[in-house]
Structure 1
Amino acid sequence: MSEVIPFRRRAAPLPAPVRGLELLRMEAEDARPATVLFLHGAAGAAWMWAEHLMAALAASGWRTAALSFRGHGASAGRESLHGFGLIDYLVDARAAIAALGGPVVVVGHSLGGLVAQMLLGDPRIRGLVLLAPVPPEGLAGANWRLAFTDPVLWQEVARMPWADAAGTRPVRLRSALFSDALPDHLAWGYIARLQSESLRALAEAQWPRPVASARLVGVPALVLGAAEDPLVPRDALLRTAWLHGAEHATMDRLGHAMMLDAGWPRVAETILRFLAARVP
C-alpha cells in the first residue's frame, strides 16, 4: 500500500514504490477529488517536482504525486536505460495512475509533456498541464533550427544522454534551463543532479507521434511556455495549444526548467488558477 503524508509546512514527500518505480506522494488537507501527477522531462526525475510545486499545490488542497520513469531517479532499470522508449514511459505513467486510484490531473514537462499527451483518452484524466512540452510533431525541426542558431547549446544538449559522466560545466545549457534570476549555486546544483537519458526515447521524440486532442476527448488543458527557453520554440508551443484547444501563456523571465527557476511561484499560481477554474 502506498505511503502518504498530510501536507505540513516544510514537509517532504515520502516514497511510495510502484513496481520498482519511484512515486513520491504528498497529501493535502480537505483535498480535491483529483490527484495531480507530475511527469518529469529528459534527464530528470521526481525530485524536480518535490523541490517546489508538490508542496505549493498541496498547500492549496491538491494531493500531488511525482513519478520517476524507469531508469530515472530511484526507479529500477538504470542499467537498461538506453533501451527504454516512450511506450515504456507511458506504461510507467499508467501504472502510477492505477496506483493512485481515482481521477488525475497530469502535469508534464518537456519529454514528460509528450508522455502526458500520449495518455489522453484515459477516462481517469480530468485535466492536462504541459510545461514547455515536446510537441506531437516531434523535435527534429526545432533541433535543426537550434543547430544553426546556437551550435554550442546544440552540442551541450546532444551530450545530455551522457550527463552522468559530464566533466565540464555546460554554460549555454545553464542559460537555456534557467534565467539569470536563479542564483548560480542553485542552477549548477540542479544541473549536477541531471542524469543520463535514454537514447531510444530521445530518438523517438524527434519524430511525429499521433496523440488525441484534449479538446476532442473533453479534457481541459493548459500549455505554458518560457520566454527564455530556446529548446522548445514558441511556434511549436502554439501549435500544441491549438491541437488541444488549450489555454496558453508564455511566461517571462523563465527558462526551460521553469518549475525550478526563480519564478516558479508564478508557474504554481498559473497552474492553480487553471485548476480552480477548469477542474472540478
Structure 2
Amino acid sequence: MPAPDLELISLKPSQANGAPPLLLLHGAFAGAWCWQGVQAQLAAAGYTSHALSLRGHGQSSGFWELAHNQLGDYLADVRQALAQIHEPCILLGHSLGGYLAQEIARATPPKALILLASIPPYGLAGSLQYMSTVHPQLLLGLQGFALGHTTQLDAAMLRHLLFAPETPMLQVEAFASRAQPESMAALGELWLPQWWKNWPQAVNYPVWVLGAEHDNIIPWSDVALTAQAWGVSAERLPGAGHAMMWDSSAAAFSARLCAWLAAQHWD
C-alpha cells in the first residue's frame, strides 16, 4: 500500500525562542484541527508546532479505508511526519495519540514527551472497565459511532463524554460537527492488556503526564500508571474534561503547557 498523503498543519512563530518543534498527535475520532487554539498559543510563546492528521482523519487521505487501519499504520504515519519535519521533536499526544507517542518514544528518543489524558502503555482495558461500569450508555454510543451506526455524535452525549461541565454547547457542537468515525481494528488492538509495557522506562529527556479532573474516558488510575511507567509524577488539570485542548479549560491548558515548556532546558 502506498504511503498516505498526510495533513500536517504547521505554525511557526514570528519570533522563535530556540526550543525544538512540537509534533501534536490527536486522539481517536479527531484530526489535526483539534489543535488549532493550542497551536496559536504556542506560536505566541515562540514555539513551532506541527499538527498531524493520521491517515483517514482530517484532510489526510484514506478515509474510505479507515476501518482497515491498524496501530502499525498510525505509527508509520507518525514516523512519516517526523521524517518530513527533518529535526528532533517534542512529542505531544492526546488519548490515542498519547499511546502512539509512547510507542515512538520507546524506539526513538524525542526531545521531550508530553502525554495528555493518554491511553496508558498497557492499553484500553482499564478505560473499558471504567466506562462500562460508570458510563455504559456513553460507551455504547461511542462504539456505535465508531462502527458507523450513527453519522454524527450526539452533542449532549459528547459533552458528558469529553468536556468540562462548563463548556458552552456551541463549543461542543463545533467539535461534534468535525468528529469522525474511528478504526475499530486499531482500537481493538488495545483491548487486550499488555501489562509488560508498564515496566518503568529509563529516559534522559523530559516527560510530562497530565490528566483531566473530569475525564470520563481515561480514569485517574490509568494516568497514574502512565506516569509511573515513565518515572514521573502525574499531574491533573483542574476543571478539565478529556478533550482539554478544546473545552472550557483550553486556555488554562495552553498556559500550563507553555509554562512547562519554558521550564525545560533545551540543547
What TM-score results when the alignment is normalised by the length of structure 1?
A: 0.87
Distance 1:130 1:79 in 2: 29
Q: Does 1:188 align with 2:188?
A: no
Cα deviations across residues 67-111 of structure 1 (Å, max 9, x unaligned)?
000011111111111111111111110111111111200110000
Q: Does 1:152 align with 2:137?
A: yes
Partner of 1:246: 232
Q: Does 1:70 align with 2:55?
A: yes
Partner of 1:166: 151
2:234 is paired with a residue whose SS is strand
Letter in 1 for 2:70: G
- 1:191 Cα deviation from its structure 2 partner: 1.3
The correspondence of residues 1-280 of structure 1 with structure 2, limited to 5 A, is 20-28=5-13, 29-50=15-36, 52-123=37-108, 125-162=110-147, 165-166=150-151, 169=154, 171-209=156-194, 215-280=201-266
Distance 2:152 2:31 in 1: 21
Displacement over 4 Å in runs of 4+: 209-215
The 1:170/1:277 distance shift into structure 2, 3 A limit, reads same
Q: Is the 8 A contact 1:241 1:247 kept in 2?
A: yes
- 1:217 Cα deviation from its structure 2 partner: 2.8
Distance 2:76 2:149 in 1: 25
Q: Is the 8 A contact 2:227 2:234 kept in 1?
A: yes
- Alignment length, in residue pairs? 262
Q: Is the 8 A contact 1:214 1:220 kept in 2?
A: no
Identity %: 34
Moved more, 174-183 or 231-240: 174-183
Distance 1:262 1:56 in 2: 15
Q: Is the 8 A contact 2:69 2:185 kept in 1?
A: yes
The 1:164/1:154 distance shift into structure 2, 3 A limit, reads closer
Q: Is the 8 A contact 1:220 1:246 kept in 2?
A: no
Letter in 2 for 1:183: P
> Structure 1: where are the runs of 5+ without partners?
1-17
1:155 is paired with a residue whose SS is helix
2:146 is paired with a residue whose SS is helix
Q: Is the 8 A contact 1:227 1:252 kept in 2?
A: yes
Distance 1:67 1:278 in 2: 24
Cα deviations across residues 8-42 of structure 1 (Å, max 9, x unaligned)?
xxxxxxxxxx9500000001122424111100000
Distance 1:31 1:212 in 2: 35
> Structure 2: where are the runs of 5+ without partners?
none
- 1:163 Cα deviation from its structure 2 partner: 5.8
* C-alpha RMSD of the superposition: 2.1
